[in-house]
Amino acid sequence: MKKLLGILLITALVATGCASGSSAGGSSAAPAEIKIGLSGPMTGDISDIGQSSKNAAEMAVEEVNAAGGLKIGDKKIPVKLVVGDDENKPESAANVFQKLINQDKVLGIIGPPTSKCANAGAPIAESAGTVMVSSWATNVNVTKDKKFVFRACFIDPFQGLVNANFAADTLKAKKAAVLYDVASDYNKGLAEVFRDEFKKKGGEIVAFESYSTGDKDFASQLTKIKAANPEVLFLPNYYNEVALQLQQAKRLGITAKVLGGDAWDSPKIFDLAGKDLLEGTYFSNHYAADADNADLQKFITKYKEKYKLVPDATGALTYDAIRILFQGIEKAGSTDKKAIRDAVAATTDFKGITGTISYKGSGDPVKSAVMIQITEGKYKYAATVNP
Amino acid sequence: MSYFIQQLLNALQLGSIYALIALGYTMVYGVLGLINFAHGDIFMAGAFFGFFTAYLLKLPLIPTLILSMLLASALGIMIERIAYRPLRKAPRMSLIITALGISLFLENFTRATLGGQPRSFPKLLEIQDFTFLGASVTNLQVVIILVSIFLMLVLRYIVQNTMIGKAMRAVSDNKEVLALMGISLDTVIMVTFGLGSALAATAGILVGLAYPVIDPYMGITVGWKAFIAAVLGGIGLINGALVGGFILGFIEIFAAALLPSTYRDGIAFTILIIVLLLKPTGLLGRPVIKKV
């Protein structure tokens, strides 16, 4: 048995040795496979987000490979996805990026979905000259002053603006309160833009309270918010914390309308918070599953069949992100990373399932957002907000 | 006024939870002089024992609580037997490093077997709201506060009035002489870990009820804060754990209530550092006299 294993191992080694030997003949020669990296929180506090990125990316890779792979020159080359677990920790994301770029020699990286990890990975991708397309990282700094860093989603100021406009124009609120995680870039970015934009609209921010990641008790801050008597409470936080915040807000008798950001978007939020607490709340999102878009509906049906789950926004955005990269590689027509970067940067009117994406001189796409209302445990499309 | 009372109640709830976990740290330290860093993770394990007992066996609150306490005791005793006992004669530093290792092991083992995603803790107690002097109170808050005070009294009784309690005090006083008196050191230490872990499980379930999102890392932050509460009150002293827990709860809640909440932890810990600078053995601790 041992002998047999040994022989197998040697054969495998020789085979891979040959494969890498043939690809080492200069950048113009096509490699045996195209490696694409994926960084996401496969484990840790928001592992659902990582799983859905992985699911969607695997689905996109399977679709491409079913058609023979990506077309480079006149040859079709299959794609291989290399998944790294960033545990939603910046230091792990940095390790994942180093490994994907230096060991696995990937042509491009998808993710990380969260802003704090994307901020840790982006400088590494930039200095290595490897294209990174984040699916879900909405923090401004991720792409700032970088040539190789792109994303498939809109940015925080836009979500803060969407919520502020929605609160002021649609809900006709005059007084708003905010409770956010000060230790996380994403939450802080949304909260600050909401505050500034809501004030610009003539509204008043009656309470602007914060906590740190991992806190479970928000009673002190919420009691303060209740005393300020707001009409709208903005909770730009991740779904696991939102569940506790809604529960404690209700216990303390806060009746304000609750708004949130796209970090609410996980089917888990219903398990954790329960339908009743979520009834009538709103959040801004990248797409609405009940939107009228044939490609999107096709994606949702296929995803449901394959994974028995409704895809969340991270899944949909990962699917767009990886296909933007695929399109870039095919347009570049080579495995030269600089050429791929130029092709991705030139993306115009890419028909994504989360909207039409164009890059105009920066890594941030020009696209619209939607507001979703939760009613009877379901997402319902409420409004579209254009840039 | 009702605002102040509401914040007071918030502080009492948070303080009770810190106190309950701090009791476990303080007991093990009092008997063995060991800071059991794995205690926060036994607390997490206790919450998960409660989660599975309630979901799989569909037991109501009290049986869930008892079963989880037993399971957590078994876990605590097992950890002591496997990890700490072989090192009993080793330098103190080896034990502390081992405790940190056990802590990381419990977190990652739970994550590897159950997954890292947060889970919703079953609602074992029908939550009822009522108004008290203009502030909203729930029956759960009252239960949490009473349970922590009750358990502290039970623990005090055990330590002060029973044979095993006497033996515990003897261990903390002088291990060598204890053996000469015909008392089994292993039994005393086993009971200490069992009791401490049962307390952690109780806290785990109460926290699960009050903050019904549990995950394998839930013990880290709370564990550290409870440890600080134990040190603040005077580690090794049962009253100290309660005093430290409540004071930490009050400082945290009122720091956030009176000042911008961004400063919450900063101010809480600054006050703690000042207290410890002035009284290094904690608020209730007596100065240690080292015999040469």
CB atoms inside a 10 Å sphere around CB A27: 12
Residue A34 to residue A328: CA distance in whole angstroms: 13
Which pair of structure tokens corresponds to residue A322? 């990886």
Of B13, B118, B262, the CB nearest to A45: B118
Residue A161 to residue A26: CA distance in whole angstroms: 48
- Mean per-residue pLDDT over chain B, rounded: 87
- pLDDT tens-place string over residues B86-134: 988 888 888 889 999 999 999 999 988 887 788 888 888 887 888 877 7
B118 and A244 in contact by Cβ < 8 A? no
3-state helix, strand, coil split of chain A in percent (to 5) is: 45, 20, 30
- ipTM > 0.85, yes or no: no
Pairing of strands A204-211, A232-235: unpaired
Q: Which residues of B touch A244 (CB under 8 A)?
A: 211-213
**Among the listed residues A108, A105, A98, A88, the one whose alpha carbon sits nearest the alpha carbon of residue A38:** A108
B116 and A271 in contact by Cβ < 8 A? no
A220 and B222 in contact by Cβ < 8 A? no
Please list the alpha-helical segments (H only) found in chain B. 2-32, 39-56, 61-79, 92-114, 139-161, 163-173, 175-180, 185-210, 218-233, 238-258, 264-278
Residue A213 to residue B69: CA distance in whole angstroms: 29
Q: What is the DSSP string of B200-253?
A: HHHHHHHHHHHS-EE-TTHHHHHHHHHHHHHHHH-TT-HHHHHHHHHHHHHHHH
Which pair of structure tokens corresponds to residue B37? 């860093």
Please list the alpha-helical segments (H only) found in A154-307. 156-165, 185-200, 219-228, 239-251, 268-273, 275-278, 294-307
Distance from CA of A283 to the nearest CA of B (A): 21
B217 and A46 in contact by Cβ < 8 A? no
Q: Which residues of A touch B256 (CB under 8 A)?
A: 209, 220-221, 224
Which pair of structure tokens corresponds to residue B262? 């961004």
CA-CA distances (angstroms) from residue A7 to A4, A15, A17, A146? 5, 12, 15, 48
Residue B214 to residue A307: CA distance in whole angstroms: 25
Q: Which residues of A touch B116 (CB under 8 A)?
A: 43-45, 47
Please list the alpha-helical segments (H only) found in A229-312. 239-251, 268-273, 275-278, 294-307
Distance from CA of B136 to the nearest CA of A (A): 6
Residue A155 to residue A139: CA distance in whole angstroms: 6
- pLDDT tens-place string over residues B51-63: 999 888 888 888 9
Domain A33-154+293-368 maps to which CATH number in 3.40.50.2300, 3.40.50.150, 3.30.365.10, 3.40.640.10?
3.40.50.2300
Which pair of structure tokens corresponds to residue B209? 């009820």
Give me the CATH topology for the region A157-285.
Answer: Rossmann fold (3.40.50)
Decide if A33-154+293-368 and A157-285 have a common fold: yes
Where along chain A do its domains lie? 33-154+293-368, 157-285
Q: Which residues of B touch A223 (CB under 8 A)?
A: 3, 6-7, 10, 257
- pLDDT tens-place string over residues A260-297: 998 898 878 888 888 888 999 999 988 888 877 888 99
Closest chain B residue by Cα to residue A182: B262
What's residue B237's pLDDT? 84
What is the dihedral angle through the alpha carbons of A166, A167, A172, A177, rounded to the nearest 10 degrees? -170
What's residue A20's pLDDT? 44
Least confident of A165-174, A207-216, B175-184, B272-281: B175-184
Spans of chain A, pLDDT less than 70: 1-30, 387
Q: Which residues of B touch A88 (CB under 8 A)?
A: none
Pairing of strands B119-120, B213-214: antiparallel
